[in-house]
């Protein structure tokens, strides 16, 4: 007897950016989601990490300089923005980054010390370090 043990392949759709899209929708204002932003408005890529002492935010800003970027905290919200105007009017065949206006907002957790935020700008990357309040850090308890 000859048994065919091969299963029919299952068709799967791979959506590598679904997590990014979901994160962007969940962490964006309604206006950003429905597209009321100006035509030259963009949203720079961001990486966020955390260790025991700090949150770290890295924002990719190719073509920007330190003087082009504004950082402020309003009502437990970190706002990173720029109103830099385009310097040239080029007919691009492919354009994946923009030198125009942007604004990113991040709701800050209650455990952040808002008075000790540090920012550095180097090689087109804006790096922010947000210290965690000492009383919010995990404490080790010794067993007797």
- Please give the DSSP secondary-structure letter assigned to residue 135: G
**Do residues 64 and 40 touch, judged by C-beta distance below 8 A?**
no
Q: Which pLDDT value is given to residue 144?
A: 82
Task: Give per-residue pLDDT as tens, 35-88.
Answer: 444 555 568 889 999 888 899 999 999 888 899 899 999 988 999 998 877 666
Give which of 25, 37, 112, 142 is closest to 81, Cα–Cα.
37
Q: 46 lies in which domain range?
A: 18-136
CATH code where residue 63 lies: 2.60.40.790
Considering the domain boundaries, does residue 2 fall inside one?
no
pLDDT of 18: 47
Comparing CA positions, the residue from 52, 72, 71, 73 lying closest to residue 61 is: 71
Residue 144 maps to a domain: no
Whether residue 37 is contained in a domain is answered as: yes
Domains identified in the chain, total number: 1
Residues 140, 85: Cα–Cα separation, whole Å: 51
Q: Which of 4-8, 69-73, 89-93, 110-114 has the highest mean pLDDT?
A: 69-73
Question: Is residue 6 domain-resident?
Answer: no
**Alpha-carbon span 103 to 36, nearest angstrom:** 13
């Amino acid at each position: 007897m000859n048994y065919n043990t091969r299963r029919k392949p299952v068709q799967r759709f791979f959506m590598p950016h679904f997590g990014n899209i979901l994160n962007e929708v969940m962490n964006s204002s309604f206006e950003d989601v429905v597209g009321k932003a100006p035509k030259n408005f963009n949203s720079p890529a961001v990486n966020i990490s955390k260790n025991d002492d700090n949150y770290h935010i890295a924002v990719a800003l190719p073509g920007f300089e330190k003087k082009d970027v504004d950082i402020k905290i309003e009502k437990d919200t970190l706002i990173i923005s720029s109103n830099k105007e385009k310097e040239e009017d080029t007919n691009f065949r492919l354009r994946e980054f923009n030198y125009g206006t942007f604004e990113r907002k991040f709701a800050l957790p209650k455990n952040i010390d808002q008075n000790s935020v540090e920012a550095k700008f180097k090689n087109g990357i804006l790096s922010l370090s947000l210290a965690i309040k000492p009383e919010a850090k995990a404490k080790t308890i010794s067993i007797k």
